[in-house]
Amino acid sequence: IRIVLDSVMMILSLVLMGGNQLFTADIAHEVCGVLTFILWITHMTLNRRWYASLWKSMTDMTRTDFSVVRLMQIIINTGIVVCAVFLMASAVIISNHVFVFLHIGSGASFARAAHLVASHWYFVFMSLHVGLHAGVMANAVQFRQSAKKSNTAERCSVRQKTRIIFSRAVTAAACVYGVYAFIVRGIGKYLLYRQPFFFFDLSRGYVLFVADYVCMMILMATISYVTAKLCKKK
């Protein structure tokens, strides 16, 4: 259930990053946004034990085993929650369909700015979250684990080594392209609100849009995955 839930959330998040440009009717964007928010609440409910343990560890001042990875989880998950709250609150204000019955007539200008900035920070935190908990390197980890198990009886097969090398090469290539896409798409400008409106480059098309954002997600997920792995080693 969690794997399906997380997969649907990632797909919806990528779709939502395209704004209203990916739909013929902007109501589709609003419905996807509400659905994503509901899925996040479900996700947090399923992982409520983590939040309970976090609260317990933060209130226990005698604990000294607060690791760097734990701190990364706190920062990333808190960032996601804050962005989700801003996204939902601003979406209610600027809604043209789903929440129009509320008749909110003020704060639209600030809400649009908040929605733009929060959506891109959400994308960053979500990608980092993926790297910490699932990671684009998940297959490589499984291959490595199977290789270690086989080494207890015999050497790792050539096929296993090839799969590890191939998965790392694909990830590395995606990360390099992710850096390029980050610059071309101007994500930094949105994060710092140097770009006050969302610009969808129609000349690059929808296929490249998906490829760009997928590679950016892989880039940031890999950064958090590798960072957490190095911290655990130390």
Give me the pLDDT at residue 144, please. Answer: 52
Give me the pLDDT at residue 153, please. Answer: 44
pTM comes to 0.84
Per-residue pLDDT of the chain (234 residues; tens, 9 = 90+): 778 888 899 899 999 998 888 787 889 999 999 999 999 899 888 888 877 777 776 666 555 556 788 888 889 989 999 999 999 999 999 998 899 888 887 889 999 999 999 999 999 999 999 888 754 445 445 545 554 554 444 555 777 788 888 988 999 999 999 999 999 999 999 999 998 888 888 788 888 999 999 999 999 999 999 998 888 776
Give me the pLDDT at residue 68, please. Answer: 82
Give me the pLDDT at residue 32, please. Answer: 93
Give me the pLDDT at residue 149, please. Answer: 53
Inter-CA distances, 151 with 72, 146, 157, 160, Å = 33, 9, 9, 12
Give me the pLDDT at residue 80, please. Answer: 92
